[in-house]
Each structure stands twice: as structure tokens, then as C-alpha cells.
Amino acid sequence: AQSVTQPDIHITVSEGASLELRCNYSYGATPYLFWYVQSPGQGLQLLLKYFSGDTLVQGIKGFEAEFKRSQSSFNLRKPSVHWSDAAEYFCAVGPYAGNNRKLIWGLGTSLAVNP
């Protein structure tokens, strides 16, 4: 069955520290992968996406993610976290082909940033 797993429900890091949020997926075909961020009181915003090509993708706000097919992973990274990065982060996978546009979502990782 298709699924997305975000193993870490909650992560706390200090401001300026590096960050890695994990995402593993189970998908029967070539996946399209996304990371979205949901800040308090705001809608979901796309951070980055992977469809094909270079497996290291750059996104907004200094985030990057690396697609590793052999590990079925798409982990999100940031070298230096800012207090404003505190939010809920969601990984999603989809086919994005034909009329089936469903995205399958992980349960999210809540990020807290200590000053």
C-alpha cells in the first residue's frame, strides 16, 4: 500500500543548529515527492518538490532535500535553523499523472526552535 512515514513526531533544535527531518515512503511507481510547511495560523506552503533529475533539490527558506531511491527516503535538511522555522512539516508523495492527483501525506513533524 502507498504510505508516507515521518518517524519523528516532534523535534526540538537550538537556533543556528542544523536540521534533518526524515521522510520514508512506500510507493509502487516512480514517486513525486513534496515537502510542505504549515506555520501557526497560516496555510500550507510548498518548500520544495522532486520529480526527476538531480536528486538534491533546493527549496525556499534555505531548505534542501535529497531523494534516495535505494532507501525510499526524501529527507529535508537545513544547515542553520532560524526561530521562524518553528512549524509543522509535512512530506507527501503522489503520482501526479493522468486524472489521479491524490497526494498521500505523512502525519507531520512538529519543529520547535530554542533561542
Partner 1 sequence: GAGVSQSPSNKVTEKGKDVELRCDPISGHTALYWYRQRLGQGLEFLIYFQGNSAPDKSGLPSDRFSAERTGESVSTLTIQRTQQEDSAVYLCASSFAGEETQYFGPGTRLLVL
**Binding partner 1 by CB under 8 A: which of 1, 28, 40, 42?**
42
Least gap, CB of 5 to partner 1 (angstroms): 10
Site for partner 1 in 44-103 (CB under 8 A): 44-46, 49, 51, 90, 92, 96, 99-103
Per the rule left: phi > 0, alpha: psi between -120 and 50, beta: everything else, 46 is: beta
Q: For partner 1, which is the closer residue by CB, 12 or 45?
A: 45
Residue among 62 and 95 whose Cβ is closer to partner 1:
95
Cell numbers for 8: 519523528
- Residue ranges binding partner 1 (CB under 8 A): 4, 32, 34, 36, 41-46, 49, 51, 90, 92, 96, 99-108
